[in-house]
Amino acid sequence: MSPSLYVPGDGPLHRLPAGAKLAALAGLGVALFLVSSPIVLGAAALAAAGVVAATGVRLARLRGALAGVAIVVAIVVAANAWLAGWREAAAVGARIVALVLLGYALTLTTRTSDLLATLERLLAPLERIGLADAGKVALAVALVLRFVPELMKQAADIREARAARGLRVGPVALVVPMIVRVLRSADAIAEAIDARAYPPCKSPPTSAIPSSTGPGSADHDNA
């Protein structure tokens, strides 16, 4: 089960507006980088675990995702211990764990559409000065959330197929076929998004259906 997904519920975190949660995550994220005491950071990681527990989501749903994070954290901690000593390594490890857990707490309790709406609102000023297209950013985030679980499943399929043939699965053996698959589906996904009236029209909807033969506006895509 992917951590990137909303799990329906009605706990306090579910009821909090997406904007408030996003702001809290941003604020706590900055704070975590301002602190360097491993003890304080360790306490923060524990508190973050408490927040995840408070979402009411069963731990089993997070197991796969947490295992992945544990590996990354282990590598980072080992590298830091080697390069900068144990104190620094513990601080870095606790900081990552705290951030990841807070991120989970956010995505587990917030509908993607709410998250995206908030994101679009936040990006609106940037859009006004022409620096970003909020709608595009939001769609990109949605697609990542949508396809990460799919990719994880594909990775498992490839691993299984190779194991069935008695082959070992190194990272290269996994990554190459996955890139091929992603590129192959990217075109199809883009086409499907196109076919569903994307990009959005900014004006409010008129009649549901274009009515006549009139000379409509020439369109963007004459591929």
Partner 1 sequence: MPETAPRATQTSPPESMSIVLDHVGVTLQERPVLRGIDLVLEERRVGIVGLNGSGKSTLARLLNGLVLPDEGTVRVHGLDTRTQARAVRRAVGFVFQNPENQIVFPIVGEDVAFGLRNIGLPKRDAEARALAALAAHGLDGLADRPAHTLSGGEKQLLALVSVLVMEPRIVVLDEPTTALDLRNRNRIRAAIAGLAQTAIVVTHDLDLVSDFERVLVVDEGRIVADDAPEAALRWYRENRA
What is the largest distance, in Å, between two alpha-carbon atoms of the chain?
73
Q: Which two tokens stand for residue 96?
A: 């990552």
Considering the complex, state which of residue 35 and residue 145 has its C-beta at the smaller distance from partner 1: 145
Strands (E), 28-156: none
Length of the chain: 223
The only residue of 47, 126, 146, 176 in contact with partner 1, by rule CB under 8 A: 146
Number of other CB atoms surrounding residue 31 within 10 Å: 12
* Residue 220 lies near partner 1 (rule: CB under 8 A): yes
- Region binding partner 1 by CB under 8 A among candidate stretches 15-23, 96-104, 164-172, 209-217: 209-217
The only residue of 113, 125, 128, 161 in contact with partner 1, by rule CB under 8 A: 113
Contact 55, 8 (CB under 8 A): no
* Residue 213 lies near partner 1 (rule: CB under 8 A): yes
**Dihedral sign for Cα atoms in the order 173, 175, 176, 177:** positive
The only residue of 15, 165, 168, 196 in contact with partner 1, by rule CB under 8 A: 196
Which positions lie near partner 1, rule CB under 8 A? Answer: 2, 4-6, 8, 111-113, 117, 139, 142-143, 145-146, 149-150, 153, 185, 188-189, 191-205, 208-210, 212-213, 215-223
